[in-house]
Amino acid sequence: MLGASLVQQLKQNNISKEADKTKQRFEEIWKAASSSDKKAVEELAGVARASMQRVYKMGSISAKIVVAASQVLKVNPYYLTGEADEAGESSDEILLEFLEKLGYQELLAKSEKEQKTRKPRKKRESKVRQVSTSATSPDSQNDDDADEASQAFEPIEEIIIIQEEPCEDIAPALFFDEFDEEDIILLLRSVKIRAKAGVAEAIKQSEELRKILIS
């Protein structure tokens, strides 16, 4: 796809081979185009609406309008200049060939070189902002207290999910290093609730915890 930076460097002189054909064909294609397509052609060519009207009124058309209209409206550029009898279709290959025949080899080579040397921008990675406990504001501490209070009333399903491994498989030293006080309380509460519900594994864990606590 040819960009506006290239298209707008094309000359504005008339390249139509048959004015009557250019006038008739461009008028038909232009008036059948949607408003968004018309705007796209004008922006790609870098011209005003009056320039488009001049084409189907006078039959003269410039290379930049031919290329822009051909690319956006999907029509053979040679059809607009009166050199071809079929509207056909448009492609980058056809447009490049068309411009080469008009003598724009140097401009095309320059544009291709610029595209190759242009380096893609690296996406900036978002950094995770870490805030130390000592720098926590009073408002955030209040929010934490509110969160802790709300955890005490969490549904049983939520509390059970927190316990990923049975207590009996956790070494005592690693257990206290891995969890803080709130997590340990939640784990104990989970065992208690499951034991009351009659879960055999939880009952066993409850007895073992009882022995540990009173020993």
Q: Residue 79: what pLDDT?
A: 97
Rounded Cα–Cα distance for residues 5 and 9 (Å): 7
Q: Residue 141: what pLDDT?
A: 52
Amino acid identity, residue 119? K
Q: Residue 123: what pLDDT?
A: 53
Q: Residue 189: what pLDDT?
A: 81
- Cβ–Cβ contacts within 10 Å for residue 57, how many? 12
Low pLDDT (below 70) residues in the chain: 118-180, 215
Residue ranges of domains in the chain: 4-117, 148-214
Q: Please give the structure tokens belonging to residue 103.
A: 């003598």
Nearest to 45 by CA among 81, 9, 76, 74: 9
Nearest to 67 by CA among 104, 87, 96: 96
Q: Helical H runs in 104-170?
A: 105-117, 138-151, 156-162
Q: Residue 85: what pLDDT?
A: 93
pTM: 0.55
Contact 92, 131 (CB under 8 A): no
Q: Residue 45: what pLDDT?
A: 95
